[in-house]
Structure 1
Amino acid sequence: MAVFDDDPPVRSIIELPGCSPVEGTVRWDPAMSIWNGAMLGIALVGTPLTFSWSAFAVFTVLTGATLLAGHSVGMHRRLIHRSFDCPQWLEFALVYAGVLVGLAGPIGMIRTHDLRDWAQRQPDCHPYLAHRESMLKDAWWQLHCRLTLDQPPGFDAGSAGESLAYRWLERTWRWQQLPLALVLLAIGGWAWVIWGICLRVSICVTGHWFVGHLAHRRGPQSWLVRDAGVQAHDVPWAAIPTMGEAWHNNHHAFPGSARIGIHPGQSDWGYAFILLLARLGLAWNIRTPVGMVARRRKLQPVLP
């Protein structure tokens, strides 16, 4: 059995003297707002005018593939948490699929995820980082704004930040939709572009915020993390569309685990995909809660 740290710190965050996740200012982010707003606007106007069953099929397949292989497995469980090992070429392919989801580039995803992760482990943090505001205000903040902390921690993306490929993806992540859009346009016309790019990106980005908001507000819990100011909840109805990511209480409990749906009956397609890669010899050192003794010491089970 591989030996690994079963309770690692947040990988990319460097705690500097005086750094704090509490005080900060939320400001409108023009680039993010225009990107998310444009995708949503085109989707709202264009999808009713261009519906076809083939366009719907393209939307369904591309959404499922990019969320499963890209966001859940590539970006989250591999690039951010290193919850399994795989060949470098496969990691890049999975991360590229994650870029196509339309949330951010690889380094931006690490920064956004790890800052929130670090902040939520503290006794308190800014409402932006805790999804503590009302749904409408939180939607505006998360989809159109950025938080600037008064005393932020340091950030080091590690090997991802040193990779020329990932630095290129970080600079061009929005433009990566263009090659796919050209292929869809050539095969299925503008209907496929609107459904396969604009609607897909809008649904993925909005859904990512929506499930994240709910997962920090209400829902079932199996664990409480000691000393953490923000606790997580599961969102059972979203388990399949999020490929297992919606078992967020489990994820807070065991953030380094490749398996997020850890209880009987909890669907986790992301973990199933990793097991498929393992059967093909493309994934190994798969980390699960089994044997995570150090991490369990920080948990308090929630009694039924």
Structure 2
Amino acid sequence: MSLATEIDDLPASATRGGETQGWAERLALTLFIAIPLLALAVAIPVAWGGWLSWVDVAIALPMYFLTLHGITVGYHRLFTHKSFKPNRAVKIALAVLGSMAVEGPVVRWVADHRKHHKFSDRDGDPHSPWKYGESLGGLAKGLWWAHIGWLFDAEQTPQRQYAPDLMKDRDIVWISRNFWAFTAISLAIPPVLGGLLTWSWQGAVTAFFWGTVVRVGLLHHMTWAINSICHAVGDRPFVSRDRSANIWWLAIPSGGESWHNLHHADPTSARHGVLRGQLDTSARTIWVLQKLGWVSDVRWPSRERIESKLVKNQPVAA
């Protein structure tokens, strides 16, 4: 059977939403954007008012970094770019943790990102900040589009065209189709833990605020900032065919994704922060998984490959 025939035999979509965005999905998307954004806006006054405990921090931080790396290591470096080969347990765990970040089903996310790389900062890119031109007004409008606006585009990226490999994987298709179940689990874990650890309704409520709503909001905007800010401003030490750039102050909260210029210069690299001092916790996570023997064939960048892509001579991390 030819590859074309295999693709033709696939369903149009591995997600429940299909190839167009309906009103119910747009309503859910609006709520999942607006409510966490409101929580971020009032987070400081709420904390100042005494509604932030060490229990809340102990719940929110692990939930943030677990689900963050579900996106960065799982959705992005594994499923989109095939930077390494995992065993089945790691593959499933990363797909589930990525789903719990509440950024959409894995197959749809991957299809969008692969299309982004194919047309990066050109016509066809789902979320380029340069969509409306290079004037100040055009860039302001483009930044909004790249950050949030593109999420409401009625026309979705064809999953059969951009992610046929994932649509042949039964584990990934099942997880993608049950995205809302993993979303519900993600939303429920913090208040359940908060209630059990404090044995109070107040503990459950504050853990829900910090560990669910604020955590989801911060993670969303951190991911979207890579789409918007990291394609508009920043350092560009590597040669790439687009305007991808590095933003150092986003490195830790983004899990190393903000070393975005190298990523677009060498998309399959398992490590994005390759220059001296560039922290990349996602690459370190992959390194640990490799040492444990749970992943293999990791595409680590060689010094020669890195230096060949530099615009000018810079110190390369060992």
**What is aligned with 2:99?**
99
What pairs with 1:130-279 in structure 2 (closer than 5 Å)?
A: 130-132=128-130, 133-135=138-140, 138-139=143-144, 142-144=147-149, 145-147=151-153, 155-188=161-194, 189-225=204-240, 228=241, 230-279=242-291
Cα–Cα, structure 1 residues 210 and 180, in superposed 2: closer, same or farther, change >3 Å?
A: closer
CA distance in 1, matches of 2:173, 2:157: 26
**What is aligned with 1:64?**
65
Q: What letter corresponds to residue 161 of structure 1 in structure 2?
A: M
CA distance in 2, matches of 1:90, 1:76: 14
Deviations 1:186-211 (A, max 9, x none): 33112112211111111111121123
Query: Which stretch of the first structure deviates more once superposed, 164-173 or 100-109?
Result: 164-173
Cα–Cα, structure 1 residues 300 and 147, in superposed 2: closer, same or farther, change >3 Å?
A: farther
Out of 10, 16, 38, which is 1:41 matched to? 38
> So what's the TM-score if we normalise by structure 2?
0.74
Q: What letter corresponds to residue 209 of structure 1 in structure 2?
A: W
Deviations 1:115-166 (A, max 9, x none): 1111117xx3258532125446633564254446799897242232123332
Cα–Cα, structure 1 residues 218 and 44, in superposed 2: closer, same or farther, change >3 Å?
A: closer
Task: Name the count of aligned residue pairs.
Answer: 272
Shift of 1:87: 0.3
Question: What secondary structure sits across from 1:82 in the alignment?
Answer: coil
Query: Where do 4+ consecutive residues of structure 1 move more than 4 Å?
Result: 42-47, 148-154
Question: What secondary structure sits across from 2:296 in the alignment?
Answer: coil
**What is aligned with 1:8?**
none
Structure 2: 5+ residue stretches without partners: 1-6, 8-21, 131-137, 195-203
CA distance in 2, matches of 1:150, 1:94: 24
Q: Report if aligned partners of 2:146, 2:228 keep a CA contact under 8 Å in 1.
A: no
Residues 1:110 and 2:122 are matched in the alignment: no
Q: Report if aligned partners of 1:221, 1:302 keep a CA contact under 8 Å in 2.
A: no
Deviations 1:34-86 (A, max 9, x none): 32123333554688274222112311121112212x11111111111111111
Aligned-pair RMSD on alpha carbons? 3.3
Richer in helix (by share): 2
Q: Report if aligned partners of 1:67, 1:242 keep a CA contact under 8 Å in 2.
A: yes
Of structures 1 and 2, the one with the larger relative CO (CA 8 A, separation 6+) is 1
CA distance in 2, matches of 1:220, 1:259: 17
Q: What letter corresponds to residue 99 of structure 2 in structure 1?
A: V
Richer in strand (by share): 1
Q: Report if aligned partners of 1:43, 1:194 keep a CA contact under 8 Å in 2.
A: no
Out of 29, 34, 45, which is 1:32 matched to? 29
> So what's the TM-score if we normalise by structure 1?
0.77
Question: What secondary structure sits across from 1:275 in the alignment?
Answer: helix
Question: What secondary structure sits across from 2:295 in the alignment?
Answer: coil
> Aligned residues: percent identity?
22
